[in-house]
Structure 1
């Protein structure tokens, strides 16, 4: 029997584990990954929280979110490629949503590159498109991609 998946609140001391996931989860062709200083810088701000998914001691995924007033935003969600489609991303998203609701959010927003496979997860979890930023992301090959703004209701 394999070890259970655990999701814990992450702190600055977990940044090495988060960066392990970040390096594998975000394709460098799109420049979407954050560096450790960016993560640590925002983590110290009010209303920001980070979650880390592990199996035993191995980091599998993470999520970084924030809330301002009654609006929450999922800033980053990453899962190591070998662990995708095994429920890690879904469990992280569930926890972010629950935490956003506990903190008083009415809605949860996120932005994602058009064509990102994570769109499937977000749509399955009730997110709908509320906006689009044309040509927001630029790949290493010069091709541009729209940024899609998605939102879901947290408080029913």
Structure 2
């Protein structure tokens, strides 16, 4: 497994688009609802590259099988913090340490950027909660009825933070 930072998304947009469709259609709570169209995924990825967003990918056999984003806060009162966003792993490669490796790379980069606080949110009950807690993230609270699933059910989101 190789974790690398993408400076440009152009060469990887097709692969990232297919990965996002696969994880959303598998039930991941990353802001989209299944079934997801490839064109919708591509439109999303075209908006990711912006100042303050650092994108990491996990590759196995030169194939992208996971990604995570580090969003650096650019507001004057938030230059010490960053948000973890869209941690996704291919369902065929889960439970192999991809998520952990991506999170560790994002944490390392946050430290290099002078950040001392990481924040994130995830759907209550998802396996990601176990990962984040094992990485030392602390639950800050819960927001009921935060996100809607494809069947219309409303789900609670859990907010986490970690002091670096």
Give the CA RMSD over aligned residues: 1.7
Q: Give TM-score, length-normalised by structure 1.
A: 0.87
Look up the match of 1:12. Answer: 9
Deviation at 1:42, TM superposition (A): 3.3
Unmatched 5+ stretches in structure 2: 33-39, 74-78
Q: 1:114 aligns with which of 111, 124, 135?
A: 124
SS at match of 1:111: strand
Match of 1:130 in 2: 140
Q: Deviations over 1:72-130 (max 9, x none)?
A: 10111000011111011110000011111111111111110112111111110001111
Aligned with 1:150: secondary structure?
Answer: strand
Secondary structure of residue in 2 paired with 1:26: helix
Gaps of 5+ in 1: none
How far off is 1:43 after superposition?
1.6
- Alpha-carbon contact 2:23-2:90 (below 8 Å) kept: yes
How many correspondences in the alignment? 149
Q: TM-score, normalised on structure 2?
A: 0.83
Q: Deviations over 1:41-79 (max 9, x none)?
A: 2322x2111011111221110111211111110111000
Deviates more, 1:93-102 or 1:19-28: 19-28
Q: 2:81·2:117 contact (CA, 8 Å) conserved in 1? A: yes
